[in-house]
A and B are shown apart, each in its own frame.
Chain A
Amino acid sequence: MGSVATKTSAKGAAEESTPFPSLSWFERLSALMKDNLEHYKKLGYCDCVADFCVTDGGPKGSPWIARVTFDAFEVLNVEDVGSGKTPTPDFMLEGSLETWRAMIESISDGDGRPALDQTINYLSHFHAPMNVTSDDPLRRDLFYRYNQSLQSFISGSSAFDTVFS
């Protein structure tokens, strides 16, 4: 995930840029969540295990997945689960690197507010270009129950520069 190709904006110093996809990108979002505790407290509990999948973000275009465990107002754990592992997450949000990149760039351009057609719900609603999958409709619905918190979590990426591999 390492090679630096493009910067989404010129907000931060070069050493602060974070590659995508990478665990450090999600860890950075988790740290921002902690820093903005009051904001997340206002949104309310977020209790779920979410897999964020870049369908072609792994070696040789294979899937790359970060598993993020949300608990109340913070992230307990971020881990690389390769192309998936058991137990299954509550849900998985998946999209190609190109889709993730367009979304992250839109968030950056909007200073944390993505364009109308670049929210996680917009992109996944018709199952393309993103998709939300789960083996249980109740657990899939957690994506909706915590949608504002999850959007806020991803939108946190406007606080730093992202570089794409």
Chain B
Amino acid sequence: MANLGRGVTDLKLTPSDIPLAGDDLARFETSFEHTKEVWGELLEENGNRLQKGNLSLHWMNTEGSAWNKSRVKPSSRGLTLMDINRPDVYGTVPKIAPHRKFASRGSIRDQYLNRMPDVSDYTIMDRDEVWADNVETLYEEAVARQWKATTDVPWDEYEDIVKLPEDIRLASAQVATFLTEVEFVAADMPAKWLYHIPQDFLEVKMFMVTQMMDEARHQEVFRKRAIIGGGLLHASPGFEWALKVILEAPNHTMGSFMLNLLAEGMVLTIFRSGEMIAPTQLDKEIFRLTLQDEARHVSYGVMQVKNYLDKHPDRAAATEELHRFADIAEQVMLTTLTEPTVIEPLAVLLGGGIKYAETKGLDGVAKLWDMLISEYLQRCDRVGLDRHARCTLPRTAPWAA
């Protein structure tokens, strides 16, 4: 919406900038015309009754409602998802989603199913493709631990960044720049799958939305940090291949493995390092706030991939598929790990300046490398995927070998 002051006549768009709906609109019209029999009937019934001034009041019939038998109470924290999920009727997440409608799990809905549309894009019908045993608590925690990039960071101390020696200022701005490039894939990826998850798995959908909100805030805070202290610097082509793997993973679990377990695990290590090498208190605050969110995403990823393997009817085949995916994911991740826009500013910050970047700095990055690989392998172990023999990532940094 920039430059609104120029006047509408200046905002000319060529036809290719925003295409018309064209054939898609024609298909939409045909589709809703075909189903008019059902929704038109609903409209007619409701319209006729309202014309007569009558109320239906069928919704006051509590037959089939669980409320009288399944009262819930708030706990010390308020009313959590765990509290309302205590009664089976509300809390039992079906193994297979019973339909592709919007109606809420636990509501009186069966008698209406034949008058509701099917959402054909709900394709993840088996809970165990997306479920994690900690997803409800992670959702509650995510909501409780939201923060505001605009006011929870001491931006009034930004002069501390401006006054930094040039090499340190540029390095910290470059770290912030590469983070702006990678953060939002962790919103795009859940967004891609969220749309395919039916409403009965609402807890997963809700958690994914918190992750998307977290990543929006990370994008925001690193963009603000770069622009206020050194500017947005250079893009990282090597990183973008890993982002493409995340988005194009063949199924949700593989995408989750790559995003939440491998990439977010790595970003968590980078954030912890960021807190450690932060040249100002302002930067420390940013990294402490973001690393908490990242650890939550890693936690979902670990438990989700574990659940997928544990519940898969052919565990051996599912495990082998995940290994094949990891064979590529790790190599693409190696491309990112060697990007100069990442390694070098970290070396400058760890070394305490450009002068020591190739000595103390690269030694520090080598330690990070060891940490990153060993934590990745630990997380793989935790999900039941033994990558020790098969991992294609070098255990030590190339310059430290």
Contact = CB atoms under 8 A, between A and B. Distances in A.
A and B are partners in one complex rather than unrelated chains = yes
A111 to B, nearest CB: 12
B278 to A, nearest CB: 6
Interface in A5-45: 43-45
Interface string B272-309: 11011011110010001101101110110011000000
Contacts of B76: 72
Contacts of A126: 276, 364, 367, 371
Contact of B299 (A121, A125, A138, A148): A138
A148 to B, nearest CB: 5
A113 interface: yes
Given A122-B276, A137-B375, A144-B292, A44 B284 contact: no
A125 B146 contact: no
A96 interface: no
A122 B275 contact: yes
A152 B76 CA distance: 22
Contacts of B294: 144
Contact of B288 (A45, A47, A116, A147): A147
B272 A44 contact: no
Interface in A121-137: 121-122, 125-126, 136-137
A119 B285 CA distance: 11
Nearest to A148: B288
Q: Chain B interface residue count: which class? A: 35 or more
Interface stretch (B60-68, B137-145, B393-401): B137-145
Contacts of A47: 137, 141
Could you say which of A119, A136, A144 has the most chain B C-beta atoms within 10 Å of its C-beta? A144
Contact of B378 (A72, A121, A122, A137): A137
A141 B272 CA distance: 11
Q: Report, nearest first, the 3 A-B pairs whose CB atoms are least far apart.
A: A44-B145, A44-B144, A144-B295
Interface of A: 43-45, 47, 72, 113, 116, 119, 121-122, 125-126, 136-138, 141-142, 144-148, 151
Interface of B: 76-77, 137, 140-141, 144-146, 268, 272-273, 275-276, 278-281, 284, 288-289, 291-292, 294-296, 298-299, 302-303, 364, 367, 371, 375, 378-379, 381-382
30 contacts: A43-B145, A44-B146, A45-B141, A45-B144, A47-B141, A116-B278, A116-B279, A119-B275, A121-B276, A121-B288, A122-B276, A125-B275, A126-B276, A126-B367, A137-B302, A137-B379, A138-B382, A141-B298, A144-B272, A144-B292, A144-B295, A145-B295, A145-B299, A147-B288, A147-B291, A147-B292, A147-B295, A148-B288, A148-B292, A151-B288
